[in-house]
């Protein structure tokens, strides 16, 4: 057992002993299908604290032939799969955390030299009986070992992209690193599986496609690995039951990463949750912002304040609860090369600040926890008009509850003036203003736009979550250059309240109109008992 060669199962055993352990061993079945095939190169990119390192610890414990780990997996899902015993403890494992080498090095040459020497040290110590052609050449050493043992290697690389995050401007260093990985891994018979994880997908360099042998599993295209990084909705439900926490609140706080995969001819949509946030909430018995404690909102601020055409508009729309269409194809998979606003937004997807729908090709802010990071970032920027609207939303919601229609109209009017970036030209833009103006409503409500109801679609519905059932439900109908009274009548005529028939409590009907001539908003509020 060495530091890098066959490191054993200690870290995975710690995970198994933890207070909260969620079985993700199904990942092993997917990697087993790739072992010793042309698909043996896999790169998984996910945001921080999404279980990437735990996955590597699990794979290491499973494949490592220096230990017997059958007992560790006997109660896990992988045990019931067809190839479980075929691959269990059958390979030499090299487990590398690139961040460790980068942090200890002065530059890229020093980093690669250390990696080369340290791994060779473990290999030579384990296989001292092998005659090496070149003891200082990592590739040749591994070739010689494989020729002698006929045991191929499972190579596990964590934080593979750290150099691109820390040497953001040094393209020469980046190319040297990619070329090293290519020479080490590509078309090598000694590679049974090369599995890398990081935050960023593999860097694009135009014609320089150093690692084109890898299949990528990312936030924009998760392939068949969507469910193995982050917690699924079912897993969070089970944890909420165990810890007697409100699942509806957990969903509002941490859900929203919608990953779509196509497997075995079936389309599957996974609603994934940040594991870090869910675990902290369960252990502390309190919902709050946990995921980004390791990295402040300053990291987000750097990107959203970039002067890219349409970027501010897109952020404001998403704060208001809308999605934004983007093109992810031009993103270079680094943290500095941005040709358009879409490149910035694509980076935010990979960092976990946005979620991407790969069918609609749209992005949105995933949940309340992440939304708060945007508010924190904006509050320290020169987006004063946006933060004023957010801050005023608490008072506006109170006015709505008090059925003060004039005050609500004035509040929406002010929000529109302040957020002049949202050009008014139809009911959709009016809807965006309304949602931003009522930003604080997310504290109490599930907010649904275009809710199917009765004989049509209600524009906006505020449905109180279970722990806030003392608050009234709200159905809002928007009109463009018509009348607020007409909006109320439409709610009644088209029976928009029918979808709330299981809700028992106060219900407010709200009609809002914008007069394009006077440029004034009007509001009518009526109460209905359900």
Structural domain boundaries in the chain: 10-217, 233-292, 298-379, 384-529
Beta strands in 418-472 (DSSP E): 445-453, 456-464
pLDDT confidence of 92, banded at 50, 70, 90? Answer: very high
Residue-level pLDDT at 427 = 64
Residue-level pLDDT at 53 = 96
Q: Which of 123, 24, 130, 1 is nearest to 77 (CA)?
A: 24
Q: What is the mean pLDDT of residues 435-464?
A: 83
On the 0-12 / 13-18 / 19+ scale of CB atoms within 10 A, 8 is middle
Work out whether strand 92-97 and strand 153-158 pair parallel, antiparallel, or are unpaired.
parallel
- Any idea which of 11-25, 171-185, 456-470 has the lowest mean pLDDT? 456-470
If one looks up domain 384-529 in CATH, what number appears?
3.40.1350
Average pLDDT, the chain: 91
Residue-level pLDDT at 292 = 72
Joined together, the tokens standing for residue 1 give 């057992």
Q: What one-character-per-residue DSSP string does 356-422 give?
A: EETTTTEEE---HHHHHHHHHHHHTTT-HHHHHHHHHHHHHHHHHHTT-HHHHHHHHHHHHHHTTTS
Residue-level pLDDT at 2 = 77
Helix (H, G, I), strand (E, B) or coil at 252: helix
pLDDT at position 264 over 80:
no
Q: What is the mean pLDDT of residues 98-125?
A: 96
Calculate helix-pair angle for 384-401, 311-319, nearest 10 degrees: 20
pLDDT confidence of 421, banded at 50, 70, 90? Answer: low
- Any idea which of 21-35, 196-210, 375-389, 401-415 has the lowest mean pLDDT? 196-210
Evaluate whether 298-379 and 384-529 have a shared fold.
no
Q: Distances in Å between the alpha carbon of 429 and those of 308, 320, 461, 479? A: 21, 10, 17, 11
Residue-level pLDDT at 182 = 94
pLDDT at position 404 over 60:
yes
Higher pLDDT residue, 122 or 528?
122
Residue-level pLDDT at 349 = 96
Residue-level pLDDT at 424 = 61
Q: What is the mean pLDDT of residues 285-298?
A: 79
Residue-level pLDDT at 186 = 95
Q: What is the mean pLDDT of residues 47-67?
A: 96
pLDDT confidence of 59, banded at 50, 70, 90? Answer: very high
Q: How many residues are there in the chain?
A: 530
Residue-level pLDDT at 457 = 72
- Please, what's the b/e burial string for 364-376 (b: 16 or more CB within 10 A of its CB; e: otherwise)? bbbbbbbbbbbeb
Q: What are 346-369's pLDDT values in tens digits?
A: 999 999 999 999 899 999 999 999
Q: What is the mean pLDDT of residues 138-146?
A: 97
Q: What is the mean pLDDT of residues 13-30?
A: 97
Q: What are 96-106's pLDDT values in tens digits?
A: 999 999 999 99
pLDDT confidence of 294, banded at 50, 70, 90? Answer: low
Q: What is the mean pLDDT of residues 185-203?
A: 96
User: For the chain, percent helix, then strand, then coil, each to nearest 5?
Assistant: 45, 20, 35
The top-level CATH class assigned to 298-379 is mainly alpha
Contact partners, residue 268, CB within 8 Å, separation at least 6? 226, 260, 261, 262
Residue-level pLDDT at 419 = 65
Residue-level pLDDT at 299 = 81
CA atoms of 231 and 482, how far apart (whole Å): 46
Residue-level pLDDT at 528 = 84
Joined together, the tokens standing for residue 59 give 């794979």
Helix (H, G, I), strand (E, B) or coil at 336: coil
Residue-level pLDDT at 234 = 96
Q: What are 215-254's pLDDT values in tens digits?
A: 999 999 999 999 999 999 999 999 999 999 999 999 999 9
CA atoms of 525 and 412, how far apart (whole Å): 14
Q: Distances in Å between the alpha carbon of 221 and those of 259, 269, 350, 358? A: 8, 12, 11, 7
Residue-level pLDDT at 297 = 72
Q: Which of 2, 265, 23, 214 is nearest to 121 (CA)?
A: 2
Q: What is the mean pLDDT of residues 518-524?
A: 89
pTM, two decimal places: 0.92
CA atoms of 287 and 425, how far apart (whole Å): 39
Higher pLDDT residue, 434 or 457?
434
Q: What is the mean pLDDT of residues 178-193?
A: 96
Higher pLDDT residue, 244 or 426?
244
CATH fold for domain 10-217? Rossmann fold (3.40.50)
Q: Distances in Å between the alpha carbon of 196 and those of 42, 149, 157? A: 6, 25, 5
pLDDT at position 208 over 60:
no
Residue-level pLDDT at 492 = 87
CA atoms of 342 and 524, how far apart (whole Å): 39
């Amino acid at each position: 057992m060495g530091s890098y060669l066959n490191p054993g199962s200690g870290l995975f055993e710690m995970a198994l002993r933890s207070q909260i352990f969620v079985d993700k061993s199904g990942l092993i079945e997917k990697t087993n299908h790739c072992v010793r095939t042309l698909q043996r190169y896999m790169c998984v990119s996910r945001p921080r604290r999404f279980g990437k390192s735990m996955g590597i610890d699990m794979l290491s414990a499973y494949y490592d032939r220096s230990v017997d780990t059958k007992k560790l997996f006997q109660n896990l899902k992988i045990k019931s799969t067809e190839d479980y015993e075929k691959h269990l403890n059958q390979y030499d494992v090299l487990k590398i955390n690139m961040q460790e080498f980068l942090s200890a090095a002065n530059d890229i040459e020093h980093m690669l030299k250390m990696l080369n020497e340290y791994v060779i040290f473990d290999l030579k110590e384990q296989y001292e009986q092998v005659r090496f052609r070149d003891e200082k050449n990592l590739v040749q050493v591994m070739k010689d070992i494989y020729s002698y043992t006929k045991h191929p290697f499972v190579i596990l690389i964590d934080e593979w992209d750290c150099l691109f995050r820390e040497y953001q401007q040094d393209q020469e260093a980046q190319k040297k690193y990619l070329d090293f990985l290519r020479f080490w891994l590509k078309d090598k018979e000694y590679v049974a599986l090369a599995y890398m994880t990081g935050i960023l997908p593999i860097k694009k360099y135009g014609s320089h496609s150093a690692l084109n042998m890898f299949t990528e599993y990312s936030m924009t295209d998760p392939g068949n690995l969507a469910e193995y990084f982050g917690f699924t909705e079912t897993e969070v439900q089970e944890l909420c039951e165990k810890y007697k926490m409100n699942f509806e609140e957990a969903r509002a706080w941490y859900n929203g990463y919608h990953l779509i995969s196509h497997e075995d001819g079936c389309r599957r949509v996974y609603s994934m949750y940040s594991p870090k946030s869910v675990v902290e909430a369960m252990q502390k018995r309190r919902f709050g912002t946990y995921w980004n404690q390791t990295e402040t909102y300053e990291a987000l601020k750097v990107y959203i304040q970039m002067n890219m055409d349409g970027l501010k508009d897109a952020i404001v729309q998403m704060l208001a609860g809308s999605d934004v269409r983007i093109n992810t194809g031009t993103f270079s998979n680094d943290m500095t090369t941005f040709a358009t606003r879409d490149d910035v937004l694509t980076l935010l997807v990979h960092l976990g600040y946005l979620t991407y729908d790969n069918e609609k090709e749209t992005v949105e802010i995933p949940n309340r926890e992440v939304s708060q990071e945007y508010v924190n970032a904006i509050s320290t920027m020169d987006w004063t008009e946006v933060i004023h609207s957010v801050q005023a939303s608490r008072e506006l919601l109170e006015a709505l509850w008090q059925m003060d229609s004039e005050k609500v109209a004035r509040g929406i009017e002010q929000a529109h003036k302040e957020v002049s970036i949202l050009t008014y030209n139809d009911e959709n833009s009016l809807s965006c203003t309304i949602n931003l103006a009522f930003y604080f409503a997310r504290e109490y409500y599930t907010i649904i736009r275009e809710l199917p109801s009765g004989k049509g679609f209600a524009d906006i519905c505020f449905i109180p979550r279970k722990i806030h059932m003392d608050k009234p439900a709200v159905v809002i109908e928007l009109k463009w250059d018509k009348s607020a009274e007409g909006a109320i009548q439409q709610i009644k005529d088209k029976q928009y309240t029918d979808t709330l028939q299981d809700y028992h409590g106060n219900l407010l009907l709200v009609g809002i109109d914008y007069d394009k001539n006077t440029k004034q908003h009007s509001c009518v509020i009526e109460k209905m008992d359900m």
